[in-house]
A and B are shown apart, each in its own frame.
Chain A
């Protein structure tokens, strides 16, 4: 099976825990240790020596301290090494302007945070479909 390496960028510990709870049983997903904001993500990515070891997907929360989802998208888009990695946004509340902004910055999907297992699995299926 083709296992995808996924990194979650999320500052909320509950949401990090939910990610692990819902996705660690999935055989098609390998969760990398989550990071708390965009700056931490950049540090993490810069520390990876070979391109092959880079994650297959970056899942970004929108509201984060220091560097939020939108700003992180912009950074990724502007750096050749990372621009190819598919990135998605997921947020508690998604309105039309957030969706439009994030799509413009290269987000493949802008998703609303689910509230149950079914919603989480469906969201991950959608994410994997854009890789």
Chain B
């Protein structure tokens, strides 16, 4: 008898379990929007409950969203929670429902939540709190809204996990600090450069000028007293100190390019180059050189700096000439679309290409990019005087103008320097 009763009870438990599973599955189906209507055995036979389509959409939405969503009643009990919220606090959904929401918050932010809870009934409000998950705290944003249900008023709270955002903020903070440090280092190094420029401009030039003055004295006033050997030494001192002077001035000009010089104007390149050719009048006559100048465009840029570029390039073209050939230099505009420079610009009409071409000694094209490095020289001092800074300055200026400078040459067959410049100057 007892055994039979036990069996009956066990069977009942099994049946109830099955019902529970079925009910849970139904609930799950309703939650995830798989069900639009329910048929329930009621007092008047089968009753059909349909779920409103608008509700359906929101239900799916709420269950699928990555934020926690809970609804509280007037005493702060959770009357609805989506899976995400239960997930967030690390508990099964059934343990969350019917509990006081405030219990999931860390003690120190419960007072803040009290205010949110109080004001949330009157107006939409947001606030950051921390929820307890096991032994850790998760920062969350609560978006609190009054919710008018059919039979009662509830408070809906969207719970946004801020961990990732806080972590990003922390990383951003670190990056910002690093950036700040780098920026300071850059400011310091620019300052050092300026210091160097000022040292180079005065402190180095003062003793150098004295060397020049006194070696000239030696030559002018005591030359006859010197042996032939000593006369040579004096001449070497004079020429070396002159070279050092040129070097210092060039380094100074190069370092000054780093300083902010944003004086931008419309520059008539043809006019600019005409002036430079006038400056080289003596040298052009001396070499019997022919300088051909085509019509050049007007571009936006720093006039002084662009003048320096053309000055250096024309100076080179005249300097590196072949002894047995009349020097010919041409400064002309060329077609940018030709593709021979290995460029493909989508907005080619925004740029111009100016070619400075000579028929001088040229250079091996494998050096076509290294010649723009500071102090890079391909020719021995004895044949061609120079500091090795001229092309570096030209490149730095063209870079500052967001343009390109490309060299093409072959040994003994002249050199061509192509400048690709935007018509309009692009400010930083």
Contact = CB atoms under 8 A, between A and B. Distances in A.
Interface of A: 12, 14, 18, 63, 92-93, 95, 113, 115-117
Given A92-B202, A115-B213, 9 more contacts: A12-B206, A14-B210, A18-B213, A92-B209, A93-B202, A95-B201, A113-B209, A116-B213, A116-B220
Contacts of A113: 209
Contacts of B210: 14
Nearest to B197: A95
9 contacts: A18-B213, A63-B202, A92-B202, A92-B206, A92-B209, A93-B201, A115-B213, A116-B220, A117-B220
B199 to A, nearest CB: 11
A36 B213 CA distance: 21
Contacts of A63: 202
Which among A12, A14, A92, A95 has the highest number of chain B CB atoms within 10 Å?
A92
A14 B209 CA distance: 11
A113 B216 CA distance: 15
Contacts of B212: 115
Given A14-B210, A92-B209, A116 B202 contact: no
Contact of B216 (A12, A95, A116): A116
B205 interface: yes
Nearest to A94: B201
B262 to A, nearest CB: 16
Interface of B: 201-202, 205-206, 209-210, 212-213, 216, 220
Contacts of A92: 202, 205-206, 209
B304 to A, nearest CB: 9
B235 to A, nearest CB: 15
Contacts of B202: 63, 92-93
A95 B213 CA distance: 21
Contacts of A93: 201-202, 205
A45 to B, nearest CB: 27
Nearest to B202: A93
A95 B248 CA distance: 13
A115 B216 CA distance: 8
Nearest to A95: B201
Nearest to B212: A115
A95 B261 CA distance: 15
Contacts of B220: 116-117
Contacts of B206: 12, 92
A102 B205 CA distance: 20
A18 B209 CA distance: 12
A93 B209 CA distance: 10
Contacts of B201: 93, 95
A113 B213 CA distance: 10
Q: Among the interface residues A63, A92, A113, A115, which one has the most CB atoms of the partner chain B within 10 A?
A: A115
A67 B321 CA distance: 51
A40 B206 CA distance: 23
Nearest to A14: B210
A18 B210 CA distance: 10
A92 B249 CA distance: 12
B247 to A, nearest CB: 14
A95 B205 CA distance: 13
* Residue of B206, B213, B216 with highest tally of chain A CB at under 10 A: B213
A92 B216 CA distance: 17
A18 B202 CA distance: 19
Contacts of B205: 92-93
Nearest to B213: A115
Contacts of A95: 201
Contacts of A115: 209, 212-213, 216
A95 B200 CA distance: 12
The 8 A-B residue pairs with the shortest CB-CB distance, nearest first, are A115-B212, A93-B201, A92-B205, A116-B216, A92-B206, A115-B213, A93-B205, A93-B202
A19 to B, nearest CB: 12
Contacts of A116: 213, 216, 220
Contacts of B213: 14, 18, 115-116
A119 B171 CA distance: 64
